Structure 1
Amino acid sequence: MKRVVAINGSPKSAESTSGMLIKILEEYIGTIVDTFQAVELIRREDAHKVIADILKADDLLIVFPLYVDSLPASLLKLLTQIEQAAKACGSSLPTVYTICNCGFYEAEHNSLALKMTRTFVKRIGAGYGYGLGIGCGGVLAQMKKGPVDNVYAALRDMGDAITAENSKECEDVFVTPKMPRFLYKIGGNIGWRQMTRKNGVLKQIKAKPHSL
């Protein structure tokens, strides 16, 4: 059985979409996936030891949300540390797979971030499977079937690729839940209002503190 390790690149310590995606993929892989939170790992005194152990895995899964067409700062810092450790690693490195989800409707917004992770993998000399870009990330926690069936199918395909005997590099895949754009926008607006009401700032929802 392959050893699979995952890095959760979400700055959220709990209840993140990235964490949920790792759990779903774990079910499809059929084995426990050792998961590390990037924002916590970079602060650990023994981070170098943990990273050295991560690099001994058969497959490495990097899952993160899109931040300004890029990766969260904590994940970027961790990847820098991993690159330094990989240069000193005398053994073979894991095959890397990446998943990036965004709040935009179109999954293609994740393309630049996935290219960055592919470049990172090439720099450290590891093998690369492929990246999965997911749009409408905000609905994934609310829906388990129906419009998101294609997302689950894409995750299942990645699980099959990870467990395959021989991994090979493929083109990145982009998938958006099958729901009309206007419905996603309506749902997003309702969600924003619920959060502002919960935090007592509903009256400030249209504030523009940085406008000239």
Structure 2
Amino acid sequence: MRIAMINGSPKLGKSNSSILLTALEGLISNEHEIARYSLNKRPLTPEQYSELCRMDTLILAFPLYVDGIPSHLFRMLVALEEYMKSERQHDIYVYVMVNNGFYEGKQNHIAIEIIKNWCARSGLHFGQAVGQGAGEMMGLIEKIPLGHGPLKNLGNAMLALADNIQTHSSGESVLINPNFPRFAWRFMGTHSFWNATAKKNGLKRKDILRRNIN
């Protein structure tokens, strides 16, 4: 089976989407041929769009942007839809992994519906989606094995996703929270992410909280 893993994150460095794709790739048998595509540096070429039309499976991984999908990924999907309508010659299944900065995985449901509708317009089969909450934790806990600790829910969901991918099966989309207390996630996000990022950019905590009133 020819599988395309498409990283829809706009980040130039390591992203949560790339972490999820790497973890998923480790669950897929070596007998399948996997090609990676990234949208964070330059648009896909016409040759790459044609390659995607010859794949058996597309796996989209991206972060949630305003309850939807990133604009550069949206542009790619619009272009790919036209290629699929003119060049696709066999069935293609689509699987999705979405992560967001909220604690609740259910926040991803609108973005998943957007991809479902795109599949219907493009003549593709929607297989399944995994929507992960607290995505910004991934970079801090990526060394924890899937299925353990805060990644227990994610590990179980990705095992099922990998099985469906390899058999071209469909399943109910899974929207999951981390196995981590919400109050602890909020504390860690505030002190290890927001305040640390502000300090790195020469700001203080009070600068984050300051409101400009005209």
- TM-score of the aligned structures, taking structure 1 as reference length: 0.91
Specify the alignment match of 2:16 in structure 1: 17
Specify the alignment match of 1:196 in structure 2: 198
Determine if contact 1:55/1:93 at 8 Å carries over to the other structure. Answer: no
User: Which segment drifts farther, 149-158 or 114-123?
Assistant: 149-158
Give the distance between the partners of 1:49 and 1:41, measured in 2 at CA.
14
Specify the alignment match of 1:89 in structure 2: 87
- Equivalence map 1:66-145=2 (5 Å): 66-143=64-141, 144=144, 145=148
- Equivalent pairs, count: 205
SS in structure 2 at match of 1:179: coil
Instruction: Give the direction of change, closer, same or farther, for the CA distance of 1:90–1:30 in structure 2 (3 Å limit).
Output: closer
Amino acid at match of 2:76: L
SS in structure 1 at match of 2:126: strand
Determine if contact 2:54/2:88 at 8 Å carries over to the other structure. Answer: no
List gaps (5 residues or longer) in structure 1: none
Detail structure 1 runs of 4+ shifted over 4 Å in the superposition.
none
Amino acid at match of 1:6: M
User: Which segment drifts farther, 25-34 or 58-67?
Assistant: 25-34
Give the distance between the partners of 1:40 and 1:74, measured in 2 at CA.
10
1:50 aligned onto 2:48: yes
Percentage of matched positions with identical amino acids: 29
Determine if contact 2:164/2:170 at 8 Å carries over to the other structure. Answer: no
SS in structure 1 at match of 2:72: helix
RMSD, aligned α-carbons: 1.5
Give the distance between the partners of 1:128 and 1:168, measured in 2 at CA.
10
Shift of 1:208: 2.9
List gaps (5 residues or longer) in structure 2: none
Give the distance between the partners of 2:13 and 2:92, measured in 1 at CA.
26
Instruction: Give the direction of change, closer, same or farther, for the CA distance of 1:90–1:206 in structure 2 (3 Å limit).
Output: closer
Q: Residues 21-61 of structure 1: CA distance to partner in whole angstroms, max 9, x if unpaired?
A: 0000000013363111123342x5xx111011012111100
Give the distance between the partners of 2:88 and 2:22, measured in 1 at CA.
31
1:208 aligned onto 2:211: yes
